[in-house]
Amino acid sequence: MTMLAKPLISVVIPAYNYAPILARAVDSVLAQLDSQCELIVINDGSTDATPAVLEDLLQRHPQQFRVVNKANGGLASVRNRGIREAQGDYLVFLDADDEMAPGALVLLQEHITQQPSTRMVIGGHISVSPEGKRREHQPGTLSESPLERLRAYLLDKRLTLSNGACAMHREVFARGDYPEAFRSAEDIPVFAQALANYPCTLLEQPLALIHKHDDSLRHQFSHAKAGGLALVDEVFAPQRLGVQFQALKPEFYVQRCLSLFRSAYLAGDVAAAKSYFTAAVKADW
């Protein structure tokens, strides 16, 4: 396959200890690569058989994609490395346990050609349950008002964004990259700054198959608790969101408190659940 010096789209797959299913994600992209697109897989210091899986894939698909190896640093650090490594103007971050929907790259190319000013393309996705049941999700409606777009995403949950099912222009990251201090929800500040500050468009066809997992509630909460309420300040950092968006911060703070309360309660951490609920009530009775 002959690749252009500067592709339009770079697909980045962060890989950390997903050896049994990593090939599924890689193959879903390789099946539709053309001269307008590149694939980069970044191994985030995996301790399982991920390096061997990648070596096998490289032998089966020589010169069709790149592998970058780095010390373990978490998902945000991998995505930031992907921004630096990617040659394309638009980046798609596909999780290693998900799949790119058939025909997604052609759909993205056609959409970007028709709407070259877009800086974030928000696509639909198909969720796949552990039992294999599929359900198609559309992203929702997209307001012309940046403030209303941000409200729809952060507060009203009327706008759904999923990694793997959206493409962001590299200009978006000029305001801030993925915050590496967070091990969960690290994409919220980036999605928020894109919606608030750049032209965004909808592509309702599914771009990714998002596989749902039965991760333990305690494991999920441990990552969320580590970031805690600091996420609010990160989302509303001045370089990410200007003064016209700061009015949404108090409501987002309360919503974050209640989200952490729910996660703590379900994980059995009663003390943390009480503290988050108390913080929410103090902020907004």
CATH number at residue 52: 3.90.550.10
Last residue of a domain, one of 152, 184, 211: 211
206 and 250 share a domain?
no
* Total number of domains in the chain: 2
pLDDT digits (tens, 9 = 90+) for 72-94: 999 999 999 999 999 999 999 99
221 and 206 share a domain?
no
Does residue 266 fall inside a structural domain?
yes
At 62 the pLDDT is: 93
3-state secondary structure of 236: coil
Mean pLDDT of the chain: 94
At 220 the pLDDT is: 72
pLDDT digits (tens, 9 = 90+) for 134-148: 999 999 899 999 999
Query: Which residues sit opposite 122 in a β-bridge?
Result: 166, 202
Q: Is the pTM of this model over 0.85?
A: yes
79 and 174 share a domain?
yes
279 and 167 share a domain?
no
Last residue of a domain, one of 177, 196, 211: 211
Q: Which domain holds residue 248?
A: 217-283
| Token pair recorded at residue 208 | 């990714």
Last residue of a domain, one of 211, 242, 260: 211
pLDDT digits (tens, 9 = 90+) for 263-273: 999 989 999 99
Nearest-CA neighbor of 236 among 256, 220, 264?
256
pLDDT digits (tens, 9 = 90+) for 219-261: 577 778 888 999 999 999 999 999 999 999 999 999 999 999 9
Does residue 95 fall inside a structural domain?
yes
242 and 143 share a domain?
no
Token pair 């992209």: residue? 29
Average pLDDT of the residues in 56-64 = 96
At 5 the pLDDT is: 65
| Token pair recorded at residue 2 | 């002959």
Work out whether the CA dihedral 159, 163, 166, 169 comes out positive or negative.
positive
- Per residue in 135-159, is it b (16+ CB within 10 Å) or e — as a string? eeeebbebbeebebbbbbbbeeeeb
How far, in Å, are 134, 194, 252 from residue 131 at the CA level?
Answer: 9, 34, 34
How far, in Å, are 1, 94, 108, 148, 268 from residue 26 at the CA level?
Answer: 16, 9, 18, 36, 37
Average pLDDT of the residues in 22-35 = 97
CB atoms within 10 A of CB 20: 12
